[in-house]
Amino acid sequence: MNRRKFISLASIAGISTTFAEPSINGILADTWARDFVMTVNGKLRIGKLGLTLAHEHIITDFAGAEVNQTLPYKDSQAIEKLLPYLRSLKESGVSTFVECTPSYIGRNVKLLKALSKASGINIITNTGY
């Protein structure tokens, strides 16, 4: 699929959601009415998100799904290396970090949870967790 076709299909999908039948819009409204997002540590009220970095990658491994998925690092080493950066973000006023790394290129939810707890930053992973 070329770029033009992709953009065309994506636009049609967006328009169809905008004018979807009421039952679909009702489902979407119910989701927003819940007033929370799911972080790696559980539910968080939307009002508590604060300053949010919306699309970040804390660790990425481009080896791919076909390569052995044994992580090339220990969580303790990664925490030692990454925690100062997250603490710096927290000191700069960042409250929430949306971690967008997909499966098979380094997503490690246990590590994200440990980093969230240690740094005080809410971490949301948006790719299947």
Taking alpha carbons only, the member of 59, 75, 64 closest to residue 107 is 59
Q: Rounded to whole angstroms, how far apart are CA atoms 121 and 93?
A: 10
**Residue 42 in contact with residue 122, Cβ under 8 Å?**
no
Q: What is the pLDDT of residues 48-100, one digit of tens each?
A: 999 999 999 988 777 776 776 677 788 999 999 999 999 999 999 999 999 99
Taking alpha carbons only, the member of 92, 86, 73 closest to residue 114 is 86
- pTM: predicted TM-score of the whole model, two decimal places: 0.70
